[in-house]
Amino acid sequence: FADRYRVITADMRGHGQSDKPPGPYSVPMMARDVIDLLDGLGIGSTHIVGLSMGGMIAFQLGVEWPERVGSLVIVNSGPALVARTVGEWLRIRQRLLLAQLFGPARTGHFLSKRLFPKADQSLMRLQFIERWAQNERDAYLASLRALVGWSVLERIDEIRCPVLVISGDRDYTPLELKREYTARIRDAQLVVIEDSGHATPVDQAENFNDVVLEFLARVSMTENEEFQQ
């Protein structure tokens, strides 16, 4: 991506090298952090790519700050985290319970097996475990709690920028749900990447990059045509 675009990657509050203030956190709060970062860098409108929690933040940006969003790429995510079935409720509670009881390090071991289940993905598992162990327990829990019950589902028809929704064919976010919300967005398309779980940019990096670059090129071409008119 860096060969064609100015790429900015940001650790959200509570993650990586960013500050980890005491909770509670919220998705609107984290979206505001992104806007503050863009303001600090002197960036107006930009393309937003978000995976999982990042996709939720991207949706929040799309409905709250549409003038700052040139396009959205939503990866294995959705515009709400509200349990619709007992199974979904149990999965959410399990994630919170694991983090509370075992902390980020041991939770990383558990999640790595779900994200990268294949024998030839051992290096991906190790890298994930190492990075996940760097999270701080309280900040990680605050981030998880920020997601539970959050929703902008009722507002997604307000989104006017081009939207690319990417789903791994084995992602645990239901594909049917992605089809439903994609159909509600005016200028959105859904692409399913085969042989991929929740971490599509990692387990199918080449295919993922090709799909996103093609989308961004198409968006840029449309913007140029509109400017010339």
Residue 82, domain extent: 27-228
Task: Confirm whether 66 is domain-assigned.
Answer: yes
Q: What percent of the chain has pLDDT over 90?
A: 74
Task: Confirm whether 8 is domain-assigned.
Answer: no
- How confident is the model over 163-208, as pLDDT tens digits? 999 999 999 888 999 999 999 999 999 999 999 999 999 999 999 9
Q: Could you tell me the CATH number of the domain that includes residue 48?
A: 3.40.50.1820
Task: Confirm whether 4 is domain-assigned.
Answer: no
Task: Confirm whether 90 is domain-assigned.
Answer: yes
What's the pTM value of the predicted model, to 2 decimals? 0.92
Task: Confirm whether 102 is domain-assigned.
Answer: yes
Task: Confirm whether 175 is domain-assigned.
Answer: yes
Contacts of 83 by beta carbon, 8 Å cutoff, 6+ apart: 89, 92
Task: Confirm whether 146 is domain-assigned.
Answer: yes
Give me the number of domains the chain comprises. 1
Residue 79: band (very low, low, confident or very high) from pLDDT cuts 50, 70, 90: very high
